[in-house]
Amino acid sequence: MTKRPWWLLPAGRIHPMWWVLLGAATLWFEYFVGASAAFPVGYSIPVILAAWYSGIWPSLGLALAVPILRLLLLMRHTPEPDVATLVFGTLLRGVVVAFIGLWFVRLSALERELDRKVKVLEGLLPICAFCKSIRGEGGRWEPLETYISGRSQAEFSHGVCPSCSAEHYPAFQDTPG
């Protein structure tokens, strides 16, 4: 099986609380650095990770909660805040980040579906030159169809190609008219 890249977390679901903590860390960082960025890209990171590893609801929850909490922080610590502008910016930020989260949920679902469908046979296969059986685990020889069917979702149908038909069944060949 192919190895996952080192930078990807393990396959599977991760508890959403990790993304809540990452969202809180993003808010904390912005609060201490300063909320001067018009569209902080950092909000996307916990939403993307939640979408990829925990699903749609944690992702949408963060996409909405982090901008709202940011709005509350700004309103509390900004002298004479322009509430309409802050609310509009929060709404825009939440919609854009939610869209990014939904996009990554879809990409994650697609990747998981591809993982389920694709099974790769890797390496050298010890195959008999005559009967085409493959030596499997424990040294057992299995028919090619059995070996491949047991390791993938491939199915086989059998027929006879024209050259084998001519060699093995010469009586059934069309005779020139």
Residue 172 DSSP symbol: G
Q: pLDDT class for 106, splitting at 50, 70, 90? A: very high
Using CA atoms, how far residue 18 sits from 21, 50, 96, in Å, is 5, 8, 22
Residue 67 to residue 46: CA distance in whole angstroms: 12
Tokens linked to 168: 């093995």
Task: Kindly tell me the burial class for residue 91, based on how many C-beta atoms sit within 10 Å of its own C-beta (0-12, 13-18, 19 or more).
Answer: middle
Q: pLDDT class for 174, splitting at 50, 70, 90? A: low
3-state secondary structure of 79: coil
Residue 139 to residue 147: CA distance in whole angstroms: 13
Residue 125 to residue 143: CA distance in whole angstroms: 12
Residue 80 to residue 70: CA distance in whole angstroms: 16
Residue 72 to residue 175: CA distance in whole angstroms: 89
Q: Which residue has the higher pLDDT, 109 or 16?
A: 109
Task: Return the amino acid letter for 122.
Answer: E
Q: Over pLDDT 70: what percentage of the chain?
A: 83
Task: Kindly tell me the burial class for residue 177, based on how many C-beta atoms sit within 10 Å of its own C-beta (0-12, 13-18, 19 or more).
Answer: exposed
What pTM value is reported for the model? 0.59
Q: What is the pLDDT of residues 137-164, one digit of tens each?
A: 888 999 988 888 887 778 888 888 888 8
Across 32-40, average pLDDT: 61
* pLDDT for 83: 83
The domain locations on the chain are: 17-117, 134-172
- Residue-wise DSSP of 3-24: PPPTTSPPSS---THHHHHHHH
